[in-house]
Amino acid sequence: MSLPKIIIEDIVRRALLEDLGHGHDSTSDALIPANQNGRLVMKARELGCLAGIDIAETAFRLFDSNLVVSKHMEDGASLKEGQEILSVEGAAQSILSAERTALNFMIHLSGIATETNKYVQAINGTKANIVCTRKTLPGLRAVQKYAVRMGGGSNHRFGLDDGVLIKDNHIALAGGVGPAIEKARAHTGHMVKIEIEVDTLEQLEDVLEHKTDIILLDNMDPGQLQEAVRLINGRALSEASGGVNLETVRSIAETGVDIISVGALTHSARALDIGLDIDV
């Protein structure tokens, strides 16, 4: 799923205004003649997966609608060191004022896409899907989840309103697994899926006496996961979470779980190294 223009513009506008602070660029404006043109090229400086090119383009366009932006790739593409991603031509002042905002989005989102893609590659051939969680950075959820998709992953819930996810605390407060699932069914619409978390195989057996759409197997080791998948036996989707990293993810995927969720994709993403050159 792509990001609608109206969503991109909203978040990019805020970012440009944040960088402008009291409303000016002290450096470019003072130093560079208004009629001086230039050309900026963004290039990858390491291997990775691209995400955020339309957002970067929007940063330049919103700052100065006369800038001409050329996209040399599309989001989701593989990046090699030195590869040209995007170029911009027009007023050098505008290019220099907008480039940091464009780049801040692109290095962050490409970092997420690249990390996601490593997980996706690591489980290649299994049936599992890599998904992100609600552990996102405030204000950036829509674009972070987009970046996960560009890296080949899928998205878990987008918010509190998006599906029911019954965790341990909910179960305790609702009076047990049975009442929790029953209340969820009774109070949510027909478009809403219900997922429930279990920590042990005993809890799983309890849950399996009720109908749910997904069962979250939290912090289980591969042996437990395999047994859990066997017990569920297709009656619900199975999701593994907890202790997932690039070393463990393949053994988790090979247990037969349907979904593997990784909070670190969005809460601990390393920026991808992307640089820029400007020609006068």
Q: Does 157 bind its own copies (CB under 8 A)?
A: yes
Out of 49, 79, 83, 105, point to the residue binding its own copies (CB under 8 A). Answer: 105
| Per-residue DSSP letter, 205 | H
92-122 helix and 141-150 helix, angle to the nearest 10 degrees: 60
Out of 35, 124, 190, 234, point to the residue binding its own copies (CB under 8 A). Answer: 190
Q: Does 247 bind its own copies (CB under 8 A)?
A: no
Tell me the pairing of strands 129-132 and 259-261.
parallel
As measured in angstroms, the least distance from the Cβ of 128 to its own copies is 11
Q: Does 124 bind its own copies (CB under 8 A)?
A: no
Mark 59-98 as b/e (b = at least 16 C-beta within 10 Å): bbbbbeeebebeeeeebbbebeeebebbbbbbbbbbbbbb
Which of the ranges 76-84, 151-159, 224-232, 246-254 carries the binding residues for its own copies, by CB under 8 A? 151-159
Q: Does 140 bind its own copies (CB under 8 A)?
A: yes
Residue 122 to residues 110, 219, 251, Cα–Cα distance (Å): 18, 20, 10
Out of 48, 49, 63, 218, point to the residue binding its own copies (CB under 8 A). Answer: 63
Tell me the pairing of strands 68-71 and 37-44.
unpaired
Joined together, the tokens standing for residue 268 give 């601990």
Q: Say how many Å lie between the first and final Cα of the chain, rounded.
A: 37
Q: Does 193 bind its own copies (CB under 8 A)?
A: yes
Out of 41, 73, 77, 192, point to the residue binding its own copies (CB under 8 A). Answer: 192
Out of 44, 49, 96, 220, point to the residue binding its own copies (CB under 8 A). Answer: 96
Q: Catalytic: which of 14, 80, 167, 270?
A: 167
DSSP letters of 102-151? HHHHHHHHHHHHHHHHHHHHHTTTSS-EEEE-S---TT-HHHHHHHHHHT
Residue with smaller CB distance to its own copies, 27 or 78: 27
Q: Catalytic: which of 100, 134, 185, 250?
A: 100
197 catalytic per annotation: yes
Q: Does 68 bind its own copies (CB under 8 A)?
A: no
Q: Catalytic: which of 99, 195, 218, 258?
A: 218
Out of 73, 174, 201, 231, point to the residue binding its own copies (CB under 8 A). Answer: 174
| Residue 44 identity | A
Rounded to 5 degrees, φ, ψ at 165 are: -125, 105
| Per-residue DSSP letter, 158 | S
Q: Does 170 bind its own copies (CB under 8 A)?
A: yes
Element (H, E) at 61: helix 53-63
* Rg of the chain in Å (alpha carbons): 23
Q: Does 234 bind its own copies (CB under 8 A)?
A: no
Q: Does 219 bind its own copies (CB under 8 A)?
A: no
Residues in region 3-62 near its own copies by CB under 8 A: 3-7, 10-34, 36, 38, 62
Which of the ranges 118-126, 184-192, 204-212, 247-255 carries the binding residues for its own copies, by CB under 8 A? 184-192
Q: Does 278 bind its own copies (CB under 8 A)?
A: yes
Q: Write out the catalytic residue numbers.
A: 100, 135, 167, 197, 218
